[in-house]
């Protein structure tokens, strides 16, 4: 695992990251954006498997506050704009710190949950060098089922074993959990909605959703298909909020077919 110091709007942070399939050409790069409680290690082997299927290099990292990256300070609170800040402030600074130049490298983004929302926001404002998006269980608006499930997660963290399980993947599990949980449960977050950005996302989008997703319904990806110009949907049975864990083969096959169809 490698680290890089990223200077951006909210300070200087050490970010853990890992290159995948380093022997592949660097002309295309698949960047993985994790979920609200994710990290490099929580992806397990899925990024490597997907990059091998596509034959391209990958980049996986833990956002500030997650994994082995710099933790969030206990007094810091993430506002309803935290995904916008990650997309518009952090990602460009992170790419610059790694010496990546979108346009020289043709980028694909794989975003899971909050990471999918971050990918959409980034694509709406930074189309240069971007070839496509793969979105798994993304959020474009706040649904009651999402808020209810996050409340249950909070109970499991405070009273159950969720904190112990997250501690295997985060240097500071409180940083990761409460940064995400407190932002989503903030009453001000109820009006969060990025659907107005979707018509601006001109790159092809593959949006994947499970029928048993406890954090969102098919409305999320159906709104993407209704408002963005180039969208293909994949709806998976026997699949919850993490398609790459519940249906990895189906996801890899769908992404590989979509990638080839776009000239990859």
pLDDT of residue 264: 77
Write the DSSP symbol of residue 167: T
d(CA 178, CA 223): 28
For the chain, which domains are there?
A: 2-261 (3.40.50.1820)
pLDDT of residue 27: 83
d(CA 77, CA 231): 34
- CB of 231 closer than 8 Å to CB of 202: no
pTM exceeds cut of 0.95: yes
Contacts of 194 (CB under 8 A, 6+ apart): 117, 120, 121, 124, 140, 141
d(CA 208, CA 233): 6
What are the per-10-residue average pLDDT scores of the chain (264 residues)? 95 97 84 98 98 96 98 92 98 97 92 98 96 98 98 98 98 97 97 98 98 98 98 98 98 98 88
d(CA 105, CA 148): 40
The distance from CA 86 to its chain's CA centroid, rounded to whole angstroms, is 10
Contacts of 223 (CB under 8 A, 6+ apart): 140, 141, 195, 198
pLDDT of residue 260: 96
Strand 231-236 to 205-210 pairing = parallel
């Amino acid at each position: 695992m490698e680290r890089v110091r990223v200077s951006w709007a909210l300070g200087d942070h050490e970010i853990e990251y890992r290159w995948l399939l380093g022997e592949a050409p660097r002309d295309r790069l698949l960047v993985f954006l994790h979920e609200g409680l994710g990290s490099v290690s929580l992806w397990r082997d899925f990024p490597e498997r997907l990059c091998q299927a596509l034959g391209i290099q990958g980049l996986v990292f833990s956002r500030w506050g997650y994994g082995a990256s710099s933790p969030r300070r206990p007094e810091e609170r993430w506002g309803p704009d935290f995904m916008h800040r990650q997309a518009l402030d952090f990602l460009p600074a992170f790419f610059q710190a790694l010496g990546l130049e979108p346009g020289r490298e043709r980028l694909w983004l794989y975003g899971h949950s909050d990471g999918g929302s971050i990918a959409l926001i980034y694509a709406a404002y930074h189309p240069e060098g971007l070839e496509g998006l793969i979105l798994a269980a993304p959020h474009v608006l706040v649904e009651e089922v999402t808020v209810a499930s996050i409340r249950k997660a909070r109970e499991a963290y405070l009273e159950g074993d969720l904190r112990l399980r997250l501690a295997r993947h985060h240097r500071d599990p409180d940083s990761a959990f409460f940064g995400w949980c407190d932002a989503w449960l903030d009453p001000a977050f109820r009006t969060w909605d990025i659907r107005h950005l979707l018509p601006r996302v001109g790159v092809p989008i593959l949006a994947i959703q499970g029928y048993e997703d406890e954090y969102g319904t098919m409305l999320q990806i159906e709104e993407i298909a209704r408002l963005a110009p180039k969208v293909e949907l994949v709806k998976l049975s026997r699949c919850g909020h993490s398609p790459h864990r519940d249906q990895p083969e189906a996801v890899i096959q769908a992404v590989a077919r979509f990638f080839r169809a776009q000239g990859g």
